[in-house]
Structures are given as C-alpha cells and as structure tokens.
Amino acid sequence: MAVKTEAYKEIIGKAGKARLIAVSKTKPVEDILELYKLGQRDFGENYVQELASKQTELPSDIRWHFIGHLQTNKVRVIAPFIDMIHGVDSYKLLAEINKQAVKNSRKIKVLLQIYIAEEETKFGLDKIELQDLLEKYFASDEMDGVQICGIMAMASFSENPHQIRVELNNAKTIFEQVKEKYFYHDDAFCELSMGMSADYLIALEEGSTMIRIGSLVFGERDTHTS
C-alpha cells in the first residue's frame, strides 16, 4: 500500500499535543481510508472540486481542512461541511466564508494566513494587512458564521534550517502578539498551523499546534499535480 504507516506513527509520536493534518491532495480515497482506520480524523485538501467529491465518498466524522488558496467564488461548495479553512488572507474572503456559513447554519473555523517567507509568494497577510483585517472583523457585528482560531504560515522552501527556524519563530511571535492584543480572553484562538514534511520538526520546536503533512505519510505526489 502507498500509505507510509510507520512514518505516520512516528510523526504522531513526535507531534505530542500538536495535531496532525494529513494532507491527502491528489491521493485516492483508499489511501485516506487506510489512515482513517488507524484513527486519523483530520485531513487537509487544497483543491475545491477534489475535496467536494472525496467528502461525499468518505466517513462523515472526518474533519476536513482546506489548506490552500481559496477563491471567494468557491467558498459555497465547501461551506456545508468544511471544519477549518487555514488560508484566509483577505477580509473579502473572510466575509464570504461568514456569509456561506450563516446560510448553512454553521460556524466555520478559520486561520489567518500570514506572510513570513523571504521568497516571493503571492499569499499571506503582512502585519499591516493582518491588523486591518482584524479591525474590520471586530468592527462588524455580522461575523457570527466564523470563528477565528489562530494563525497559519508557510516558511520558505529553503535548504537552510536556520532560515526556516527564524521564519517560523517569527510566525509564533506574531501569533502571540495577535493573541495578546485581540484574543486575550478568547480560548478558541489557540492554533498555530505551520510545518510540512520538510520542516515539521522545526515547526514543532517553534510552537506549532497543527502540522500539515502530505508526502511523508502518503508518499510523493506527481509533481505536475502538486
């Protein structure tokens, strides 16, 4: 079987209290079920159509995490069932998630994606944008459909562990500043989603509470589909 059971168990052991999100993008439902049978319940996907079709085929107690870049016009497809959306990087997206959640009589958990990498990537909020989003969120009295649970970040694709550590440590600092300033009395704001196959050990040391791991547990993806 394709699933790397030994690696999975090792990661679960190392994660301790942090939660493993098994990133199953491009992988078949059979592989997901294999991990499910070992007790895994949190799975991450980043293509809307793929997620929607897998969700209908798999057990309903799976918690689905959307971890990729989500387009506003696709929110309604996953709003009926998604547990957490990790990559919220604009107020417009947050407002749409709220609207679709309310339509479905749900509350959807979200993480705000911050930009910490050195390289050029398109997604993630800088400090000013993060602050603007939060000010707007707290100024609105119509945000009952979303629960902001924390911060999500991705380090640079770097060979240099020191650089990765510095970036992930920066994410932890921003998480703590936001917690202190905006969510001091909100116990739900407690998640720091960071760490992938290549950098999850560093991420755990830097305070990650959710690691998102694909290739280490499911094997490599075809490069053209990942």
Ligand X SMILES: *Cc1c(COP(=O)(O)O)cnc(C)c1O
Stretch touching ligand X by CB under 6 A, among 3-11, 29-37, 56-64, 208-216: 208-216
Instruction: Tell me how far, at minimum, the Cβ of 121 lies from ligand X, in Å.
Output: 11
Residue with smaller CB distance to ligand X, 52 or 198: 198
87, 60 Cβ separation under 8 angstroms? no
Measuring CA to CA, which residue among 224, 225, 221 is closest to residue 196? 221
Q: Binder to ligand X among 151, 178, 196, 204 (CB under 6 A)?
A: 196
Question: What is the torsion angle, in degrees rounded to the nearest 10, for the CA atoms of residue 127, residue 171, residue 106 and residue 65?
Answer: 130
Tell me: does residue 215 bind ligand X (CB under 6 A): yes
Place of tokens 């990765």: 164
Best CA proximity match to 95, nearest among 81, 83, 114, 108: 108
Binding segment (CB under 6 A) for ligand X, from list 35-43, 119-127, 184-192, 194-202: 194-202
Residues in 6-25 at the binding interface with ligand X, rule: CB under 6 A: 23, 25
Answer for which of 7, 36, 58, 68 binds ligand X (CB under 6 A) is 68
213 is a contact residue toward ligand X (CB under 6 A):
yes
Beta bridge partners of 95: none
Provide the binding-site residues for ligand X, judged by CB under 6 A. 23, 25, 46, 67-68, 196-198, 212-216
